[in-house]
Structure 1
Amino acid sequence: MKTRNKDTSRQKRETKGRRAELLASLFLMIKGYQILAHRVRMHSGEIDIIAKKGALIAFIEVKARKSIERGQHAVTDRSWRRIARTAEIWMSHKPNFSKCDWRYDLLVIAPFALPKHFQDYWRL
């Protein structure tokens, strides 16, 4: 029985995360970003959204939380480092973006609030 509850809970979190990422992508497109990739997974980690605006590539972590404030504190420094390693690998495979600047953003989705996009939220 416990395994079934774990699976159901995991599925609910997965569904919630996918919905948040879809909403985040739509929000970013309204703001003029071109979505380059979703859920990029490599041995080094995962990036929720990779987006481009002008000559800037944004590696965006999306968090769905009960409040914007909770979302701001939901990503650990260790997670950001994994995201950074993954971004470096991804960029090394994209020579057409070699002249672009890049940064790490956080986008928080909370009930009854507009999505909040924190640009350049984390730095190595």
Structure 2
Amino acid sequence: MTRLERRPAPVRRPKAAWRQAKGGAAFKSGHAAEWIAALWLMLRGYRVLGFRLKSRAGEIDLLVCRGPVLAVVEVKRRATMKAAMLALKPDQHDRLIAAGEAIRRNRPGLQRLDLRIDMV
């Protein structure tokens, strides 16, 4: 192919574009759900310590505390409670525990708190 010849533009499949748009919408609605969950938890007396915290073990949607409890909160936006409960797989639960332990270990003020995994 010479420099003057151009390669044809890649053909974008409608299905791929639809999936990409759906993924972007899901990301935005998930982000909004995290803010709503944070507000709901604050109204119940929790202090929000962080949003979307990343560690080698995984990502924590919300890190909150109240009293002696440090809660790692996984936010799931689903149509029904059953669908939300089924969305958290055992391996994801294990990653949340590992991520919570890693963050607690790295922050001296949190080491005395009991770790709990919550889902909102």
**TM (normalized to structure 2)?**
0.84
For residue 58 of structure 1, report the CA deviation from its aligned partner: 0.4
What residue number does 2:104 align with? 91
Aligned-pair identity in percent equals: 26
* Residue equivalent to 1:70: 83
- 1:43 CA drift (Å): 2.4
1:64 match: secondary structure: coil
Question: What is the SS of the residue equivalent to 1:15?
Answer: helix
Residue of structure 1 in register with 2:41 after alignment: 28
Q: How much does 1:9 deviate?
A: 1.4
- Note the alpha carbon deviations across 1:25-83, whole angstroms, 9 max, x for none: 00000000000001111222111100010121000111000111211111000001111
**Structure in which a larger fraction of residues adopt helix:** 2
Aligned residues: 107
Q: Aligned partners of 1:6, 1:56: CA distance in 2, in Å? A: 39
TM-score by length of 1: 0.81
- 1:14 maps to which residue? 27
Contact kept, 8 Å, 2:100 with 2:115, in 1: the verdict is no
Which consecutive residues of structure 1, in runs of 5 or more, have no partner in the other structure?
108-124
State the alpha-carbon separation in 2 of the partners of residues 53 and 8 from structure 1: 38
Aligned partner of 1:58 among 47, 54, 71? 71
Question: 2:71–2:115: 8 Å Cα contact kept in structure 1?
Answer: yes
Which consecutive aligned stretches of 4+ in structure 1 deviate over 6 angstroms post-superposition? none
Q: Unaligned 5+ residue runs, structure 2?
A: 1-11
Aligned partner of residue 87 in structure 2, secondary structure: coil
Aligned mates of 2:115, 2:52 — CA distance in 1: 18
Structure 1 position 102 matched with structure 2 position 119: no
**C-alpha separation between the residues in 1 aligned to 2:56 and 2:91?**
15
Rg: which structure is higher? 2
**Structure with more of its chain in strand, by fraction:** 1
Aligned position for 2:7: none
CA distance in 1, matches of 2:91, 2:115: 19
